Amino acid sequence: MTPSLARRLSGAPLLLLLDIDGTLAPIAGRPADAALPDATRRVLDELARTAGVYAVAISGRSAVDSRRLICLDDTWIIGNHGIEVAPPMGPPVPRADVAQFADRIAAASARATAFTRDIPGVIVEDKRWTMSVHYRLATPEIVPALTAHITDIARDLGLRVTTGKEVIELRPPIDVDKGTAAVDLASRLGGLDGDASLLCAGDDRTDEDMFRELRRAQPKCVTVRVGDDATASDTSAEFGVPDPQAMRELLEQILSRRRLRPATPG
């Protein structure tokens, strides 16, 4: 870590807003098979317990599933791309304006499941407030027809379509994403104050919203793109690391510097 970067991350409070899949945990073929490495969990746990540090896991997964994967009591969770927020050791609270769309998401999940039942390698993930269709394990030839059909479902039900790394997602037609949710929580926790520091990291298109919105709200925010794929050249992030292991190493450096901070006089 360069001295200038260390200075930008030396403020109080320090907010760490971290995507999970592809950033903290390696991408898995099936969402249920993803696992947070033990070394990453340890450093995240220590950071979350450090005075003046807030650790926030921000994911397209549901908040409940994100908590299961992170398995740490002291982290904040932003789930479903910003639709729900769970404080440390607290239950997830969805936005008040999403309840009306629960039936539409359920209907979309049912229709997508029926359509993909006989397509090997396609997984439908019903996250209550959003729905994802993963095709990482499917043959590329099915993607155009799959995308067209899921788009038709969204149009019929008045839902929004977004795409990510080998996934098609349907969401309620409300103006919320990882960026708006990250800025809202950062404001609540004092992360936009003059003496605060912010770091956000992600690996996918939906994380670009977070990079842009946080830099707009706090220009000195440190933004990190994880991964060496071709789309990384299009990122709004200021820095890049090649994989989740390198991201963990950056977090370890941050933790080491926090441990060296002088105690606040009593």
Q: Compute the distance between CA of residue 97 and CA of residue 74 in angstroms, rounded to an integer.
A: 27
* Three-state secondary-structure class, residue 57: strand
Q: Which tokens go with 23? A: 């950033």
Looking only at the bridges linking them, the beta strands covering 14-18 and 53-58 are: parallel
Q: Put residue 127 in one of left, alpha, beta given phi > 0 → left and psi -120 to 50 → alpha.
A: alpha
89, amino acid identity: M
Rounded Cα gap, residues 179 and 216, in angstroms: 10
Count each helix (H run) and each strand (E run) in the chain, helices first: 8, 12
Catalytic annotation, residues: 19
- Beta-strand runs (E) in the chain: 14-18, 53-58, 76-79, 84-86, 93-94, 123-126, 131-134, 160-164, 167-171, 197-202, 222-226, 239-241
